[in-house]
Amino acid sequence: MSPQSTFFLALVALILTTTTTTSSHLFPTGPEQRSHLHFFIHDKISGPNATAVKVTSTPHPIPSASGLHFASVFVVDDLITVGPDPASKVLGRARGLYSVSSLTGSDLYFSIHAVFTGGIYKGSSLAVLARDPIFEAVRELPIVGGTGYFRLARGFAFMKTHLFNVKTGNAVLEIDAYILHH
């Protein structure tokens, strides 16, 4: 074997060993866990302390029953709490964006991370990438990932509109999340 071949094989062996030992702590090997979380998200699109802000929309809005216009995009940093009252215990923030993805204003598309800032899940997050048919009483949303305690998460959440103010557009959403993770 030539010196270059020996060097190359030694380098490959070193890289494989380093990669295996370095990444083994990143991928948990224990049994998969199941978690159920119940919380509320406060989506405030009006007032001085809005947590959902429209950043763009179509120049020619199409009227809709929801009051939302097709192609509007909102960036959010909504409060997550234990109960429906915004003064209840804070669990974290729902951060990301959503857009009105139907001509009728009845469907939203969103990419949201539930970022937990308190309690046993502090420093962890859940990622949701979903269609939200807002006029349905209960919507099912896929959970597509997570961080920290929820590393390698997958699952689903049921979302209900707990409260909606037609005048302001503000809403309180109730979430029941069922998660598989390591």
pLDDT tens for each residue of 103-151: 898 999 999 999 999 889 999 999 999 999 999 999 999 999 999 999 9
Q: Is residue 137 assigned to a domain?
A: yes
pLDDT above 60 for 22: no
* pTM of the entire predicted model: 0.83
Contact 125, 146 (CB under 8 A): yes
Mean pLDDT of the chain: 89
Per the structure, the complete domain to which residue 80 belongs is given by: 32-181
Q: Is residue 26 assigned to a domain?
A: no
CA nearest neighbour of 100 among 123, 130, 68:
68
Q: Is residue 7 assigned to a domain?
A: no
Distance CA 15, CA 105 (A): 52
Per-residue confidence (pLDDT) for residue 164, from 0 to 100: 93
Q: What tokens appear for 151 in the block?
A: 């590393």
| 122: phi then psi, degrees, rounded to nearest 5 | -50, 130
The predicted-structure confidence for 60-76, as pLDDT tens digits, reads as follows 888 887 888 899 999 99
Q: Is residue 132 assigned to a domain?
A: yes
Torsion angle, alpha carbons of 76, 36, 142, 90, to 10: 0
The CATH number assigned to the domain holding 168 equals 2.40.480.10
Give me the number of domains the chain comprises.
1
